Chains A and B, each alone.
Chain A
Amino acid sequence: MRRSTPKEAIPLRTFRWLRNEYLIYPILVALLVAYLILNGGFLSVFQIQSLITSTAPLILVGLGEAVVIISGGIDLSIGYMVSLTCVVVATSSPVLGTPLALAVGVVAGAVNGTLITRFRLSALVTTLATGSFFLGMALHILPTPGGVVPEWVSTVADGNMGPVPVAAILLAAVVAILGFILYRVPAGRYLFAVGDNLEGARQSGVVDAPIRIGAYAVAGLLAAVAGIFLAGQTSSGDPNIGTPFTLNAIVIAVLGGTSLAGGVGTVGGVVAAAFVLSVVSDIIFLTNASSYLQYIVSGGILVVVLGIGQGVRWIRRPTGQPSREKVADR
């Protein structure tokens, strides 16, 4: 990746909108309209409620992954932290289970962050390895789905207060707190600074280690909330429930406008992207297409989105030269 590419150097003004972080909102609206039409022109209150509750875990892991990616890292262990905390809730005492799961999430995330920042290990391989560790712990605690989840956790995850799902209130609180930290507190500014240019941030006096470790810890905490949600929704613990969330978290974060290079991302975009993924899966269900398509959509969506802009640029490259940018940049 070249350091200082002037924006004007990109010959494709028509495709500038592809880089626009607000693009996700019209996509979401279009998909919602398609969903509405497929559903016969109306949505029941129940359908809207279940859309929100089923999207809640996706929003949580997507936000966690976005915070880590903004800080300049990547977390491939998010799905397994979801599994681990889900299992912890289902096997601990009703009172202690939830706080314990939250603590486990924070500690797991902090371990990731410490290994990556203090020991300067590759974020990719480290979180791949710790992910295996967390999965092993989850399988050790509860080899097969089961356990008991307290009644109130299920109420929070699945219940409604009048027409409003409890999950929606909780999500609004999470989004508000995270938005406040990212946009209104120095630590949030530092997070963007560290992700955008680590050396530059250090030179300007930002102590980067706590910020970066904090980013992984926040991802762990949000993964834990997602794990508790899933335990409540299924009323049991499942050591394999989180596996698909690793890829989905990255897909949602990047689709929501978070730059993999670090330093760029918005809370709103991530929330919208989570709904996009959720509505797409509902549309697949409504059209009676094979549910296996879900895997292909999850995998293909990001490749297509990231590939289009560069692909068109490659086709229109000036003299048939290969591009000069570094190959296989990580």
Chain B
Amino acid sequence: MNLVNRVMEWSQRGSNREVSIAYVAAAVLFLAGSAFIRGFFGWGHVLAIVSTAGFVGIVGIGQTFTLITGGIDLSVAYMLNFGALLVTGISLGSSHHLAPALMVVAVVAAVAGLVNGVGITILKIPPLIMTLSMNSILEGVALLYSNGTPTGAAPPLLTALATGTGPLSLPWMVWFWAVVSAFVLILFRKTVFGRWTYASGSAPRASWLSGVPVERVVILVYIISALAAALAGLLLAGYSGQAYFGMGDTYQLESVAVAVIGGTSILGGRGSYLGTVAGALILTTLTSLLQVLNVGASMESMLYGVVIIVMMMLNRERQA
């Protein structure tokens, strides 16, 4: 009883409200789907939704925290794609070459994120312009690297991670996402760096005056965003067994959508990765519903647009 009360109390507090509503919405959406569509309900389908949500959820890490710093990262699409191209191109389908491939991907992502961060903080280029330009640059570099035709294949280890089943008959992807989420939540809730991230987003000047290294914090957030996008690229390469051009295109908008659905403010300073996880579950459940209804990719694209605008309107009311 005490626990229930504490949960209720927690869910009423400030931004936790939006997060709680998002989880309830995810559950309601799933149950609604189950009520109307035969075969939608089931533990297997829940696991499938959660593991699929992991991909956009991991891209959403970067989007959540760049939004919290008052920026946005529109370079995730080709960061993801380039990460996938690199890992298949270097490892050539062999798990023995996975380690060097991972190192190359990590270094490339870190450099891209660093350039984003430096451009935004030191060169004062608006985040929108900087990351949109970076997206185009990464697309060009990826095309030059693969000469337009991706080669190689995903190492079996990555495929196992993205599609295999682990302990407790849960997919490895669910385990992996849970571990990553826990790490992200600890990093941004329990460390000084996490505090600084929120501070830099809600009041940059005041934070700087009180000794927060705002520029370094923002640069680090963009590096984390690039690393997260590249990680999602590795997993997606493992999932489809290969890399291809355009595999990251939808993730640019989806990652913004999951963050906004989860209650992250596009004005900066407010938001939580817990909300983004709920946002990823909602969006994936919706996509899954649409796939069952067989409306096609064009309708999904339209729906993402509507969902983002509706969520912004709803969150707006709460801000006022």
A102-129 interface code vs B (CB 8 A; 1 in, 0 out): 0000000000000100011110111011
Chain A residue nearest in CB terms to B128: A124
Q: Is B141 an interface residue (CB 8 A)?
A: yes
Say yes or no: is A74 at the interface (Cβ < 8 Å to chain B).
yes
Interface residues on A, range: 35 or more
B218 part of interface (Cβ distance < 8 Å): yes
Chain B interface, >50% SS class: helix
- Judged by a CB distance under 8 angstroms, whether B126 is at the interface is yes
CA distance A139 to B144 in the complex (A): 28
User: With a CB–CB cut-off of 8 A, which chain B residues contact A85?
Assistant: none
Do residues A129 and B125 form an inter-chain contact, with CB atoms below 8 A?
no
Q: Are A125 and B266 closer than 8 Å at their CB atoms?
A: yes
A152 at the interface (CB under 8 A from B): no
Question: Are A306 and B312 within 8 A (Cβ)?
Answer: no
A74 neighbours in B (Cβ, 8 Å): 128
Q: Is A326 engaged at the interface, CB distance under 8 Å to the other chain?
A: yes
Question: Contact flags (1/0) for B292-318 with A, using CB distance below 8 Å?
Answer: 000011111111111011001100100
The interface-forming segment of A176-184, A210-218, A221-229, A294-302 is A294-302
By a CB distance below 8 angstroms, the chain B residues around A121 are: 309, 312-313, 316
> Shortest CB–CB separation between residue A116 and chain B, in angstroms?
10
Q: In the complex, what's the smallest C-beta–C-beta distance from B53 to chain A, in angstroms? A: 19
Of residues 78 to 129 in B, which have CB atoms within 8 Å of A's CB atoms?
119-129
Question: How many angstroms between the C-alpha atoms of A329 and B128 in the bound complex?
Answer: 10
- Quick one: closest A residue to B295, CB to CB? A140
The segment out of A7-15, A38-46, A54-62, A130-138 that lies at the interface is A130-138
Q: Which of A140, A250, A292, A327 contacts B148 (CB 8 A)?
A: A292
Does A175 count as interface, using CB distance less than 8 angstroms?
Answer: no
A299-B136 in contact given A310-B124, A328-B127 (Cβ < 8 Å): yes
In the complex, the answer to whether B126 meets A136 with C-beta atoms within 8 Å is no
Contact B129 A136 (CB under 8 A): no
Point out the residues of chain B lying under 8 angstroms from A143, CB to CB: 296, 298
Residues of chain A lying within 8 A (CB to CB) of residue B119: 303, 307
List of A residues within 8 angstroms of B127 by Cβ: 328, 330
Residues in B whose Cβ lies below 8 Å from that of A330: 70-72, 126-128
Chain B residues within 8 Å of chain A by Cβ, number: 61
Q: Does A311 sit at the interface, judged by CB under 8 A?
A: yes
Q: Are the CB atoms of A295 and B143 closer together than 8 Å?
A: yes
**Pair A310/B123 contact, Cβ less than 8 Å:** yes
Interface residues of A in 137-155 (CB under 8 A from B): 137-140, 143
Closest to B301 in A: A136
Question: Is there an interface contact between A326 and B129, defined as CB atoms closer than 8 Å?
Answer: no
Q: In the complex the two chains form, is B305's CB within 8 Å of A327's CB?
A: no
Please provide the 6 A-B residue pairs with the shortest distance between their CB atoms, ordered closest to farther. Answer: A295-B140, A299-B136, A136-B302, A136-B301, A133-B305, A139-B298
A-B contact pairs, 21 of them (CB 8 A): A125-B72, A125-B308, A129-B304, A129-B308, A132-B305, A135-B301, A136-B301, A136-B304, A137-B298, A138-B298, A247-B133, A247-B136, A254-B129, A292-B144, A294-B140, A295-B140, A296-B141, A299-B138, A307-B123, A310-B125, A327-B215
B residues contacting A by CB (< 8 A) are 69-72, 119-130, 132-141, 143-144, 148, 200-201, 204-205, 208, 213-215, 218, 253, 256-257, 260, 266-268, 296-306, 308-309, 312-313, 316
With A311-B122, A311-B123 already in contact, 8 other A-B pairs whose C-beta atoms are closer than 8 Å: A129-B253, A129-B304, A295-B143, A303-B134, A310-B125, A322-B215, A323-B124, A327-B69
A-side interface residues toward B, CB under 8 Å?
74, 76, 115, 119-122, 124-126, 128-140, 143, 246-247, 250-251, 254, 260, 290, 292-300, 302-303, 306-307, 310-311, 314, 322-330
